[in-house]
Amino acid sequence: MGLINKCLFPAAGYGTRFLPATKAMPKEMLPLVTKPLIQYGVEEALDAGITGMAIVTGRGKRAIEDHFDISFELEHQIAGSDKESLLDGTRDLINRCTFSYTRQNEMLGLGHAILVGETLIGDEPFAVLLADDFCLTESDSVLAQMTALYEQYRCCIVAIEEVPLDQVSRYGVISGVEEREGLFRVNEMVEKPEPAAAPSNLAIIGRYILTPAIFEVLRNTAPGRNGEVQLTDALQTLASQGQVLACRFDGKRFDCGSVEGYIDATNVLYRRTIHSESEQ
Interface mask toward ligand G1P for 123-162; x: CB under 6 A: -------x--x-----------------------------
**Measured from the CB of residue 253, what is the shortest distance to ligand G1P in angstroms?**
9
Q: How many residues contact ligand G1P, by CB under 6 A?
A: 14
Q: Of 120 and 158, which has the nearer Cβ to ligand G1P?
A: 158
Q: Is 265 an interacting residue with respect to ligand G1P (CB under 6 A)?
A: no
Q: In this chain, which of 7, 54, 110, 239 binds ligand G1P, going by CB under 6 A?
A: 110
Task: Report helix, strand or coil for 278.
Answer: helix
Q: Is 191 an interacting residue with respect to ligand G1P (CB under 6 A)?
A: yes
Preceding amide of 125 cis, omega within 30: no
Name residues contacting ligand G1P, limited to 48-87 (CB under 6 A): none
How many of the other CB atoms lie within 10 Å of CB of 89?
12
Q: Of 101 and 171, which has the nearer Cβ to ligand G1P?
A: 171
Q: Of 91 and 225, which has the nearer Cβ to ligand G1P?
A: 225
Q: Which residues pair with 98 in a beta bridge?
A: 52
Strands (E), 192-258: 202-210, 244-248, 252-255
**Measured from the CB of residue 206, what is the shortest distance to ligand G1P in angstroms?**
4
**Measured from the CB of residue 170, what is the shortest distance to ligand G1P in angstroms?**
7
Q: Which residues pair with 36 in a beta bridge?
A: 31
**Measured from the CB of residue 256, what is the shortest distance to ligand G1P in angstroms?**
10
The residue nearest ligand G1P at its CB is 172
Q: Of 52 and 172, which has the nearer Cβ to ligand G1P?
A: 172
- Which DSSP letter does residue 185 get? E
Measuring CA to CA, how many Å separate 123 from each of 110, 126, 251?
Answer: 19, 9, 31
Strands (E), the chain: 6-10, 31-32, 35-36, 52-57, 98-103, 126-129, 133-136, 156-162, 172-180, 183-191, 202-210, 244-248, 252-255
**Measured from the CB of residue 182, what is the shortest distance to ligand G1P in angstroms?**
18
Interface mask toward ligand G1P for 195-234; x: CB under 6 A: --------xxxx-----------------------xxx--
**Measured from the CB of residue 198, what is the shortest distance to ligand G1P in angstroms?**
12
Measuring CA to CA, how many Å separate 231 from each of 77, 181, 238, 252?
Answer: 44, 25, 11, 23
**Measured from the CB of residue 72, what is the shortest distance to ligand G1P in angstroms?**
36
Contact between 173 and 202 under an 8 Å Cβ cutoff? The reply is yes
Q: How far apart are the first and last CA of the chain?
A: 36
Residues that bind ligand G1P (CB under 6 A): 110, 130, 133, 171-172, 191, 203-206, 230-232, 257
